[in-house]
């Protein structure tokens, strides 16, 4: 009998996905510019007699199969892409069919407007509850940037049209469009504002639910587990006092100490410290086998790794409390793809589908916790034979878990 919970698939499109071949994303990563800025440059150059389309195809062929070293994002890289785009248009004037000097100013305005407006779109990592809680994109800021971008795009289009038709005709057309847009804004404005505020409230609610789930899982693993041990050892005042002091230190450390104060170590070291503590706490023997390691100098001890350690701790705790086996085996494998942990016992076993709803250890502290971190967990158990819990955490949260 096995029980498995995997992270839900990504349903909504994000700005990180390639539109055609992903060439713009490659160039953006290699230069430190935003992908929207590179795409805007290709679009504007395409207006110069289709030169941008040819440049895109040549870049696609030249970058196929090549791994470029990513650069940190910077505003100057975006400005450099825009300056390069305008410089190419100036060079193409008179040398490339369809490239005209009157395209320089309107093209520049349109490019800047597109970058300013579309750069507000959320990426994959901004879709997490943590980013929602941080308020990195307030509604007022998003509306301001989108409005400014649309104004620049409209100005660029107006400048281009003014070069093709008379000013009187352009003025009349602009006035008519302005009246039409004002009417649409008056009608749809309140509805749009309500949708944006409702979306913001939904994000805040999801963030609060995520924080409550994390806090509930931590309290279950620490305070509730200690209370269970206190009840079992009620006849031993020394053991009860020791458990209370230990739980008090752990709770104070969790409430007041910063995660950044954690000393530089590795995954195997953290795992061994956790298992040593569980051995002393439950008076059992834990056999540990590790293959590979993850130094925290290369990859810091982040919330995802802490979730893996917490899920492993809960699996070992359950085995120590309920399996009846005095020995628990833990096998950990680390490589470039991620970390996989197996927790085995040869105890009484159980049916995962028959667990009572009020028993939150498996559902919240193992399955729920590792799923929120982008990993997966599989529980295999047979009555009278034992239980095996496999917990996998890929380093890339979008990668498929190793099962």
SS3 state at 390: strand
Entry field: residues in the chain: 403
Range 352-361, long-range pairs (CB < 8 A, 24+ positions): 352/1, 352/2, 352/3, 352/379, 352/381, 353/1, 353/3, 360/216, 360/220, 361/220, 361/314, 361/317, 361/318
Identify the pLDDT of residue 50. Answer: 80
Query: Residue ranges of the alpha helices (H) in 265-345?
Result: 267-282, 303-322
Q: Are 383 and 349 in contact (CB under 8 A)?
A: yes
Q: Are 98 and 49 in contact (CB under 8 A)?
A: yes
Q: Are 90 and 104 in contact (CB under 8 A)?
A: yes
Identify the pLDDT of residue 307. Answer: 92
**Overall CATH class of domain 1-15+265-403:** alpha beta
Identify the pLDDT of residue 167. Answer: 62
Tokens of 67: 């791994």
Phi, psi at 387, each rounded to 5°: -135, 145
The packing angle between helices 35-47 and 75-92, to 10°, is 10
Q: Are 78 and 84 in contact (CB under 8 A)?
A: no
Between the two ends of the chain, the Cα-to-Cα distance in Å is 16
- Find, among 390, 312, 271, the residue nearest to 6 by Cα: 390
Identify the pLDDT of residue 339. Answer: 94
Q: Which one-letter DSSP state was computed for residue 295? A: B
Q: Please classify residue 113 by burial: count the beta carbons closer than 10 Å to its beta carbon, then call 0-12 exposed, 13-18 middle and 19+ buried.
A: buried
Identify the pLDDT of residue 131. Answer: 43
Asked whether the whole model's pTM tops 0.85, one would answer no
d(CA 365, CA 367): 6
Identify the pLDDT of residue 124. Answer: 43
Q: Residue 388: which H helix or E strand, with range? A: strand 386-394
Identify the pLDDT of residue 389. Answer: 94
Identify the pLDDT of residue 290. Answer: 93
Low-confidence ranges of the chain (pLDDT < 70): 1-20, 98-105, 108, 115-143, 160-174, 176-177, 181, 184, 192, 196, 242, 245, 249, 253, 256-264, 298-300, 357-359, 396-403
* Range(s) of the chain covered by CATH 3.30.565.10: 1-15+265-403
SS3 state at 129: helix
């Amino acid at each position: 009998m096995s029980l498995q919970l995997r992270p839900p698939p990504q349903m909504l499109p994000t700005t990180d996905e390639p539109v055609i071949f992903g060439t713009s994303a490659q160039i953006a990563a290699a230069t430190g510019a935003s992908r929207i800025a590179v795409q805007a440059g290709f679009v504007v150059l395409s207006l110069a007699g289709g030169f941008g389309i040819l440049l895109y195809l040549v870049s696609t062929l030249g970058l196929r199969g090549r791994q470029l070293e990513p650069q940190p994002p910077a505003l100057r890289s975006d400005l450099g892409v825009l300056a390069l785009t305008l410089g190419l248009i100036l060079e193409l004037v008179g040398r490339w069919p369809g490239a005209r000097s009157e395209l320089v100013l309107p093209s520049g305005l349109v490019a800047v407007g597109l970058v300013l407006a579309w750069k507000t779109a959320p990426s994959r990592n901004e879709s997490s509850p943590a980013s929602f809680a941080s308020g990195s994109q307030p509604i007022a800021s998003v509306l301001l940037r989108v409005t400014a971008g649309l104004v620049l795009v409209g100005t660029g289009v107006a400048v281009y049209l003014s070069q093709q038709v008379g000013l009187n005709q352009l003025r009349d057309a602009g006035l008519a469009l302005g009246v039409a847009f004002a009417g649409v804004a008056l009608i749809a404005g309140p509805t749009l504002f309500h949708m944006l505020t409702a979306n913001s409230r939904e994000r805040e609610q999801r963030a609060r639910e995520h924080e409550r789930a994390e806090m509930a899982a931590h309290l279950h693993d620490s305070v509730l587990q200690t209370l269970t041990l206190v009840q079992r050892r009620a006849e031993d005042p020394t053991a009860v006092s020791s458990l209370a002091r230990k739980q008090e230190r752990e709770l104070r450390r969790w409430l007041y100490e910063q995660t950044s104060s954690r000393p530089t170590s590795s995954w195997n070291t953290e795992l061994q410290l956790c298992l040593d503590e569980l051995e002393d706490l439950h008076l059992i023997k834990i056999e540990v086998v590790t293959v590979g390691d993850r130094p925290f100098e290369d990859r810091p001890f982040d919330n995802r790794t802490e979730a893996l350690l917490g899920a492993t701790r809960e699996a070992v705790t359950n085995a120590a409390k309920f399996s009846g086996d005095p020995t628990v085996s833990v096998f950990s494998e680390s490589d470039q793809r991620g970390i996989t942990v197996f927790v085995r016992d040869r105890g009484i076993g159980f049916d995962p589908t028959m667990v009572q709803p009020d028993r939150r250890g498996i559902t919240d502290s193992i399955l729920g916790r590792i799923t929120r971190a982008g990993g997966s967990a599989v529980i295999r158990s047979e009555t009278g034979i034992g239980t095996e819990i496999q917990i996998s955490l890929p380093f890339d949260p979008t990668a498929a878990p190793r099962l």
